Amino acid sequence: MTITAAADGSALGNPGPAGWAWYVDDEHWDAGGWKHATNNMGELKAVLELFRATAHLDDDLLVLCDSQYVINTVTKWMRGWKAKGWRKGDGKPVMNLDIIKELDEAMAGRRYRFEWVRGHAGHPLNEAADVRARSVSEAFQAGRPVPGGPGWPGAEADAAPTSIPTPDAGATATETETAEEAERDDTVNPALDFAAGAPTLFSLDDPDQHEVTLWLTDDEHIRLHERARQEGVSAEELLRSLI
């Protein structure tokens, strides 16, 4: 039997009030977050907590993610980082290392597969996880009680907590590490090529500057600026928080 679950993260301002969530159905989901973290931290934490919640089961796990950073971390980069003493190809330390180490431990011995899904495109599981992760970040922002879920019946209630993260310096652009690592490692396992044929918005010709081109209809442009106004951020900041 295969459990299909979506995992997603959210950060307002990025870094800022942040949330994570995984979702299988209305009886099996969970969410949490921090007062200040990055979107990538939320994306990784969502996957970590999904593996922890299902650790007592003997089912295969299909993880749906809209974060290429998370999928590349798990399927392409983690093994090399670990072999280098948790250093990247250029010798620099790996970002979000505490969560990544815990994720590496949680996945050991598990049968799993990751699949990329486009975010905010109407996928029901992805949308359910996104709503819950964003609700947590909004609760932290507003000082409201943080909403959580039922978890998974039978899961250990006292799973080892992840330390409260400190956003890495300059961690406002969520795709920076993704682009840097993609430049160094063009090896793709066909079985894990989650984005094969998927269009990309990102130009990675320059390792330090990553241009994003996004075409919007007039209605989409209006809605983008209206939502940014409601949240008290610029349109660019809003787009960063959604990536």
Domain assignment present for 229: no
Give the residue carrying structure tokens 């950060």. Answer: 11
Q: Is 8 assigned a catalytic role?
A: yes
Catalytic residue among 16, 32, 43, 102: 43
| CB distance 55 to 156 below 8 Å | yes
Asked if the structure places residue 109 within a domain, the reply is: yes
Least Cα distance to 38 among 177, 157, 151 occurs for: 177
Structural domain contains residue 242: no
Per the structure, the complete domain to which residue 183 belongs is given by: 2-212
Q: How many angstroms separate the CA atoms of 14 and 29, rounded? A: 24
Whether 205 sits among the annotated catalytic residues: the reply is no
- Note whether residue 65 is domain-resident: yes
What DSSP designation does 77 have?
I
Task: Assess if residue 222 is contained within a domain.
Answer: no
Residue 183's CATH number: 3.30.420.10
Count of CB atoms situated within 10 Å of the CB of 190: 6
What's the pLDDT at 238? 79
pLDDT of residue 166: 53
Question: Structurally, how many domains does the chain consist of?
Answer: 1
9 is catalytic: yes
Give domain status of residue 165, yes or no: yes
Asked whether residue 228 is assigned to any structural domain, the reply reads no
**Residue 236: what pLDDT?**
77
Catalytic residue among 102, 130, 138, 175: 130
In the chain (243 residues long), the average pLDDT of successive 10-residue segments reads 97 96 98 97 98 97 97 95 94 96 97 95 96 98 96 71 49 41 36 37 41 67 77 77 74
120 is catalytic: yes
Handedness of CA 70, 12, 175, 219 (dihedral sign): positive
Active-site residue (options: 120, 206, 211, 221) = 120
Say if 37 falls within a structural domain: yes
C-alpha span between 59 and 41 (Å, rounded) = 26
How many angstroms separate the CA atoms of 63 and 57, rounded?
15
